[in-house]
Amino acid sequence: PETGCLSIVVLGASGDLAKKKTFPALFNLYRQGFLPSDEVYIFGYARTKISDDELRNRIRGFLVDNKAASSKHSDDVVKFLQLIKYVSGSYDSEEGFQRLDKEISEHEISKNSREGSSRRLFYLALPPSVYPSVCKLIRNYCMNKSDLGGWTRIVVEKPFGRDLESAEKLSAQIGDLFDEPQIYRIDHYLGKELVQNLLVLRFANRFFLPLWNRDNIANVQIVFREDFGTEGRGGYFDEYGIIRDIIQNHLLQVFCLVAMEKPVSLKPEHIRDEKVKVLQSVLPIEDEEVVLGQYEGYRDDSTVPDNSNTPTFATMVLRIHNERWEGVPFILKAGKALNSRKAEIRVQFKDVPGDIYKCQKQGRNEFVIRLQPSEAMYMKLTVKQPGLEMSTVQSELDLSYRQRYQEVVIPEAYERLILDTIRGDQQHFVRRDELKAAWEIFTPILHRIDNGEFKPIPYQPGSRGPGEADELLEKAGYVQTHGY
């Protein structure tokens, strides 16, 4: 591992993302010894004029998520907060970034970085509209200057653009300032335990290798549900909608890992090459394979226009034009204000040919990977009903992480991904060509929604979403099974 001083700069330090995700993730890394105090310093940068202590106080409450843990870690919290310094300035101010650079350099000198390299990580917890100016100012004033090596990296959050054109423009602007290995486009779904498990599952298990194709798999669902609406962030959400907020990024990343071919090796570039290929093999989305919804009451939010056409729910079918998947529908479904909070992948297998047990009526084999809550994988299968009768029943082979790995604390996605940025591992980050391919898939339908040509169907908050989505699922060949 590299040594030398590490400066982590959180831009947008007083915003929601920084408070709720970035700083808590940094704290957890600190607590576990990944951010040693003799090397690391954390800078918060934002427009608000506040003192170091005010920033620390704002963050404090978010660092540990329950009271018991909070008292257990109180010493660590105090020490961690001491590592944070605040610099205020606007996102287009040369003077502000010069001051930031001065602070970082002073820290580097005080940590005697001449004996080691200097590493500078800039986390942009900011709206994308300011990315170009912020990146330029970092490039002009805040790059690592150590003669002894080290690096400068930037971490950017979605949304990376609103469609193909704007995303390409943003990519070009940032690409003029930084090389691809310096840019970490974060998608926090790639940091989730069971998402990281997907390639292991597929490529390290003989069970799955021969079955993972159109001969055996009838359909795949990738589902995201939330049981709350867009309260508090209606303004942001209304500009983007559920496709840009969840499907184009989080669900599509999961889709890539489920559908891609085996990479040549585990090198990040090999994995990302395969993800790009499968994205490029996706056929244009058909109108009759899309259902959009908007929950009733969404427009009551004062920050949402009364005539908003923005979907808070979408179900759509992606079809892949290649040897492995032709004819297999991949159903992507995401919704806010539904009846439950859950993210899962459901791989449904075809019926058993020449079924002598007539077990099809009870349901098909299905392999379910529950990303959250309560990580689990289970296989729904047919077994003999225990007892004297020879009848069949659907049951499960169940690997529930909470039971099986009681002693393991599953890291937060952001924690893992920030550690990757420090280590320089880009495997779980979105490459520029991958982003482009992702926008190519959704841009036509997004433009039609933006133009008001495609309207969302109203649904009751707390429901399953519009009934039309279930009909689409059925049409795509999904057979409802019993049990879980």
C-beta of 373: minimal distance to ligand BG6 in Å?
Answer: 9
Q: Closer CB to ligand BG6, residue 85 or residue 188?
A: 188
Q: How far is the CB of 414 from ligand BG6 (least distance, A)?
A: 9
Interaction pattern, residues 42-81, with ligand BG6; x per rule: CB under 6 A: ----------------------------------------
Minimum CB distance to ligand BG6, residue 219 (Å): 23
Q: Which is nearer to ligand BG6, 314 or 320 (CB)?
A: 314
C-beta closer to ligand BG6: residue 263 or 465: 465
Interface characters, 342-361, with ligand BG6 (x: CB under 6 A)? -x------------------
Considering beta carbons, is residue 117 or 312 the nearer one to ligand BG6? 312
Of 101, 103, 238, 245, the residue at the interface with ligand BG6 (CB under 6 A) is: 245
Residue (291 or 343) nearer to ligand BG6, CB: 343
**Shorter beta-carbon distance to ligand BG6: residue 390 or 409:** 409
Number of residues interacting with ligand BG6: please give it, by CB under 6 A. Answer: 4
Does the protein bind ligand BG6 through residue 101 (CB under 6 A)?
no
> 172-211 mask for ligand BG6 (x: CB under 6 A)?
----------------x-----------------------
Q: How far is the CB of 159 from ligand BG6 (least distance, A)?
A: 8
The closest residue (CB) to ligand BG6 is 245
Least spacing, CB of residue 372 vs ligand BG6, in Å: 6
Q: Which residues are catalytic?
A: 250
Minimum distance from residue 245 beta carbon to ligand BG6 (Å)? 5
For the bound state, the minimum distance from the C-beta of residue 338 to ligand BG6, rounded and expressed in Å, comes to 12
Q: How far is CA 113 from CA 40, 122, 140, 322, 381, in A?
A: 11, 18, 21, 52, 59
C-beta of 9 vs 190, nearer to ligand BG6: 190
- Positions 222 through 241 that interact with ligand BG6 (CB under 6 A): 226
Q: Which residues bind ligand BG6 (CB under 6 A)?
A: 188, 226, 245, 343
